[in-house]
């Protein structure tokens, strides 16, 4: 995997208009209902209530008996617990019903057509979901092509590792499920060898191979679903290419993106804290949290100490309005709970998303650090997919203090759409609205 990726800057409206998948609950519900209705209809078709007290099979136990019973167990399990599979239910339903249909057809059961009709309906639903996925990848690829800036950027080592790790985790899941399926089938056929040719009474009114086969088939279906996911992820990433997206922070097909200054307010780089004369930020932080490791501070930064001679509150308050305005992008000027300063140019406030290729690979939220694209420590996981009709909830943000105000500074000349409010005993807050009425505050 190359460390140099193309940089794209999509139009905000086009980014928000990208196709999204059917909500997970709806995708699951339709697949689950098809499975449940088919299983119930097959029960009626075979008039199974008339044979509830009969032996599970007649005569000598056969391979088809194991498959038929395991198919029934799997269909009943899907009826009662298929909703737990969420999106995987759309892939599992046609496989479960198709698995039950084969032995019922070979053994001449009246329910055979019912199983096949259900399997076909479930397969059609799965195909519709696949069409949506293809449509989304095509739209993402087209948008990436239209939005190219002609520039490239490099990924940091941690980001490259995070991208590879996200891919590996999916493959590990697929391998683990495949191994479980193989072990399950080996066990099922090993037990079957001891049961073939024996009657219901000779086996003590039950078979073990059918239960093992049902479990092995369940693992096989989950493994196949995971391999399909891995395969589609590879196809989607190859179609879109190695791309760094700079996208609007709100709306669009993914959520929980990092805006440029998110988590930076009230912080300063570790190296700056260590090299600035008179800075006591590192020492003050370690006094308050003796268990913290300096190695983590080197990556995450250091909270600016309230009384630091170089980065304390007095240093913020001592600046003239012009000096503050010219340095308003300095993160440690701002209170940790303050809204982020909003650039007057909307495109300036964009989040960085590594490798987005639709729902198959939703990308890693990241930010530019020292000329490289880096993921934050502890956030090396894929962004959360935003489903169709889901625009998220607006969270209530902390409100700024009303008392202790020193002054209001217009930041529009500095390219920010709002004002700074400085306080006697705290760091500054950003207000994106018009200048508040000073008469409403205690000065």
pLDDT tens by residue, 133-169: 999 999 999 999 999 888 888 888 888 888 888 889 9
Question: Which residue stretches of the chain have pLDDT < 70?
Answer: 1-3, 48-59, 200-201, 203-206, 250, 258-263, 342, 344-349, 370, 376-380, 389-397, 433-443
Question: Which secondary structure element, helix H or strand E, spans residue 303, and what is its range?
Answer: strand 302-303
Which of 236-246 are b and which e, b meaning 16 or more Cβ less than 10 Å from the residue's Cβ? Answer: bbebbebbbbb
Six token digits for residue 223: 């493994």
- By the 10 Å C-beta count (0-12 exposed, 13-18 middle, 19+ buried), 277 is classed as exposed
Q: d(Cα 366, Cα 95) in Å, to the nearest integer? A: 39
**Residue showing tokens 């912080």:** 267
Q: Enter the pTM of the model.
A: 0.75
What is the per-residue pLDDT for 273? 87
**Under the phi-then-psi rule, with left for phi > 0, alpha for psi from -120 to 50, and beta for the rest, what region is 251?**
left
What is the per-residue pLDDT for 242? 92
pLDDT tens by residue, 239-261: 999 999 988 876 788 887 766 55
* Sign of the dihedral defined by the CA atoms of residues 156, 157, 162, 163, in that order: positive
Q: Which residues are CB-contacts of 101 (< 8 A; sequence separation ≥ 6)? A: 71, 112, 115, 116, 118, 119
CA atoms within 13 A on the CB side of 110: 8
What is the per-residue pLDDT for 179? 97
Six token digits for residue 409: 């500074």
Six token digits for residue 162: 């995070």
What is the per-residue pLDDT for 118? 96
Q: d(Cα 130, Cα 94) in Å, to the nearest integer? A: 14
Q: d(Cα 332, Cα 300) in Å, to the nearest integer? A: 13
**Residue showing tokens 């909270």:** 303
DSSP designation for 398? P
β-strands 4-8, 243-248: how paired?
parallel
Provide the 10 A C-beta neighbour count for residue 76: 17
pLDDT tens by residue, 50-79: 665 555 556 677 888 889 889 999 999 999
Q: d(Cα 66, Cα 189) in Å, to the nearest integer? A: 10
C-alpha 129: how far from its chain's center? 18
130 to 125, 188, 385: CA distances (angstroms): 9, 33, 16
Task: Name the β-bridge partners of 178.
Answer: none
> How many secondary structure helices (H) and strands (E) does the chain include?
12, 13
398 phi and psi angles, rounded to 5 deg: -60, 145
What is the per-residue pLDDT for 30? 96
**Under the phi-then-psi rule, with left for phi > 0, alpha for psi from -120 to 50, and beta for the rest, what region is 376?**
beta
What is the per-residue pLDDT for 360? 93
What is the per-residue pLDDT for 296? 72
CB 254 within 8 A of CB 19: no
Six token digits for residue 277: 């004369």
Task: Name the β-bridge partners of 155.
Answer: 373
DSSP secondary structure letters along 359-384: TT---EEEEEETTEEEPPTT--SPPE
* Sign of the dihedral defined by the CA atoms of residues 399, 400, 404, 407, in that order: negative
């Amino acid at each position: 995997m190359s460390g140099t990726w193309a940089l794209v800057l999509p139009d905000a409206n086009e980014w928000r208009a990208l196709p999204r998948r059917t909500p997970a609950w709806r995708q699951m519900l339709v697949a689950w209902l098809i499975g449940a209705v088919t299983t119930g209809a097959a029960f009626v078709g075979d008039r199974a209530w008339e044979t509830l007290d009969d032996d599970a099979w007649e005569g000598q136990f056969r391979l088809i008996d194991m498959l038929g019973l395991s198919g029934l167990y799997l269909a009943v399990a899907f009826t009662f617990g298929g909703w737990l599979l969420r999106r995987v239910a759309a892939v599992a339903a046609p496989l479960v019903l198709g698995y039950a249909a084969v032995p019922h057809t070979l053994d001449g059961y009246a329910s055979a057509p019912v199983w096949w009709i259900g399997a076909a309906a479930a397969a059609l639903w799965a195909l519709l979901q696949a069409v949506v996925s293809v449509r989304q990848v095509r739209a993402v690829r087209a948008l990436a092509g239209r939005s190219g800036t002609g520039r490239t950027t490099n990924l940091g080592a941690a980001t490259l590792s995070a991208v590879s790790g996200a891919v590996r985790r999916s493959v590990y899941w697929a391998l683990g499920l495949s191994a479980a399926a193989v072990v399950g089938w080996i066990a099922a056929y090993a037990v079957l060898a001891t049961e073939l040719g024996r009657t219901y009474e000779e086996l003590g009114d039950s078979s073990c191979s059918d239960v093992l086969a049902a479990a092995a088939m369940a693992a096989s279906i989950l493994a196949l679903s995971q391999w399909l996911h891995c395969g589609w992820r590879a196809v989607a990433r190859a179609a879109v290419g190695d791309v760094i997206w700079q996208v609007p922070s709100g709306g669009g097909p993914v959520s929980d993106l990092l805006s440029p200054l998110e988590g930076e307010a009230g912080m300063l780089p570790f190296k700056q804290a260590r090299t600035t004369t008179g800075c006591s930020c590192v020492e003050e932080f370690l006094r308050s949290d003796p268990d913290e490791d300096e190695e983590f501070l080197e990556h995450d930064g250091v909270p600016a100490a309230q009384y630091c001679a170089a980065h304390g509150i007095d240093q913020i308050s001592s600046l003239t309005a012009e000096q503050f305005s010219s340095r308003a992008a300095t993160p440690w000027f701002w209170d940790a709970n303050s809204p982020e300063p909003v650039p007057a140019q909307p495109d300036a406030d964009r989040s960085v998303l590594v490798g987005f290729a639709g729902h198959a690979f939703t990308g890693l939220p990241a930010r530019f650090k020292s000329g490289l694209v880096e993921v934050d420590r502890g956030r090396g996981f894929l962004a959360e997919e935003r489903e169709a009709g889901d625009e998220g909830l607006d969270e209530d943000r902390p409100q700024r203090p009303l008392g202790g105000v020193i002054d209001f500074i217009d930041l529009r000349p500095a390219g920010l759409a709002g004002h700074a409010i400085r306080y006697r005993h705290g760091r500054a807050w950003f207000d994106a609205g018009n200048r508040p009425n000073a008469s409403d505050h205690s000065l």
